Amino acid sequence: MVTRLDWTSQPGGALHGSVRVPGDKSVSHRALMLGALADGTSHIHGFLEGEDTRATAAVLQRLGVRIEAPAEGERVVHGVGLHGLRGTAQPLDCGNAGTGMRLLAGLLAGQAFDSTLVGDESLSRRPMRRVTEPLARMGARIDTQDGLPPLRVHGGQPLRGISYTLPVASAQVKSALLLAGLYARGETEVIEPHPTRDYTERMLAAFGWPITFEPGRARLSGGHALHATEVDVPADFSSAAFFLVAASIVPGSTLRLPSVGLNPRRTGLLKALRLMGADIRVENERSSGGEPVGDLVVRHAPLHGIELPEALVPDMIDEFPALFVAASVAQGRTVVRGAAELRVKESDRIATMAAGLRALGVAIGETPDGAAIEGGVIGGGATDSHGDHRIAMSFAVAGLVATGPVRIDDCANVATSFPGFTALANGCGFRLA
């Protein structure tokens, strides 16, 4: 049982300093899973010590994988090979993590044993047919509760490759199919309506699995092996996002965010904020572990509202709560369309943000697939994150520029993706307690 945690974010002065945000959540999940299925011992550096990624590690340990944590942010994964996992009658608890559950559904569909994947209250409300339906076309048998978790994955089902065009852009669904494809006879092909983050593809290649991919399409065949490797996890752009918005909107601020992952499928918010007038520079751009990384330097700049280009939506799918806060203080109106996926994240992020911002006096209109936000002044008041980590951190940012304290209820889940957020935030000028 997670202990209840509420925050108050007080208006403060300019933000300054260097903020090293934790490792990327998407990369950390995948590194554990591929390391577990590899032959040999993989080393992960910069691993996210969050509850989501720790839940995935615990699931893999239950399946017989030895995972050591020699130091914070370090994991040593003793791979058991593609067919070396051992089944367990115990439910496998993915906690709050949609990525964990959906990717594991694909991975477990190809095993000889049965498994049951469960999650917390929020995850238990998230749609799973988007993975179980295409997996069923590959020959998998997975029972849901009316499309929701728990997932009962039946083992011993021979899988066959399919070509599947995703109805919605989802890296989780794509990745689940590719992981099942490792166990399938023939070729598995995934085609996306919009390209999404390609970490699974890149990492499969790094672990030596033959795969061809380009933005919007990935193809692999079953019957090869994964070979242990080293994985350097970049800092998570989605965690950096809160500081990008915070420094942009608080007058006098300058923040440096070192070694942030800049995979183009993740940096939509950077483009959106620049369209709004933000002053964000990328320094020291380099490649680390096959991923582009760089230091972000953000300075306060007056923002103006935009009509967000829909093409940016998949590249910033986790950053809308932060964008909504930026839009609330920008001059003029910001309009978001084509983002219906926000309704099935850790909370309904359109409804949760709209309710919270309205409580702070912001004029925001909801649509089924987006919102229109009139920029102006954020007032003090009481908001509820509904247990959604990114909403909690976004309202902490809102509190910095509000005319009074912003109370944020239900913040414990910030630990799922960003352990230590409060300390880092307060270290650069937030007043969060």
In angstroms, what is the minimal distance from the CB of 301 to ligand S3P? 27
Cβ-based nearer residue to ligand S3P, 120 or 318: 318
In angstroms, what is the minimal distance from the CB of 171 to ligand S3P? 3
Rounded (5°) CA angle 270-273-278: 110
Q: How far is CA 254 from CA 17, 36, 95, 431, in A?
A: 7, 41, 36, 17
Stretch that binds ligand S3P, among 4-12, 165-173, 180-188, 243-251 (CB under 6 A): 165-173
User: Encoding tokens for residue 253?
Assistant: 């601020």
Options 60, 80, 171, 190; binder of ligand S3P; rule CB under 6 A: 171
User: Encoding tokens for residue 2?
Assistant: 């997670």
* Residues paired with residue 221 on neighbouring β-strands, in sequence order: 187
In angstroms, what is the minimal distance from the CB of 201 to ligand S3P? 11
Cα–Cα distance for residue pair 98/86, rounded to 1 Å: 23
Cα–Cα distance for residue pair 269/257, rounded to 1 Å: 15
175 near ligand S3P, rule: CB under 6 A: yes
Cβ(82)–Cβ(225) under 8 Å? yes
Options 53, 111, 172, 416; binder of ligand S3P; rule CB under 6 A: 172
User: Encoding tokens for residue 115?
Assistant: 């498994």
Options 9, 26, 248, 253; binder of ligand S3P; rule CB under 6 A: 26
In angstroms, what is the minimal distance from the CB of 346 to ligand S3P? 8
In one letter, which amino acid is 49? Answer: E
In angstroms, what is the minimal distance from the CB of 26 to ligand S3P? 3
96 near ligand S3P, rule: CB under 6 A: no
394 near ligand S3P, rule: CB under 6 A: no
Catalytic sites, residue numbers:
318
The phi and psi torsions of 85 (rounded to 5 degrees) equal -70, 150
Rounded (5°) CA angle 334-337-341: 125
- 312-341 residues in contact with ligand S3P (CB under 6 A) are 317-318, 341
Residues that bind ligand S3P (CB under 6 A): 26, 99, 170-172, 175, 197, 317-318, 341
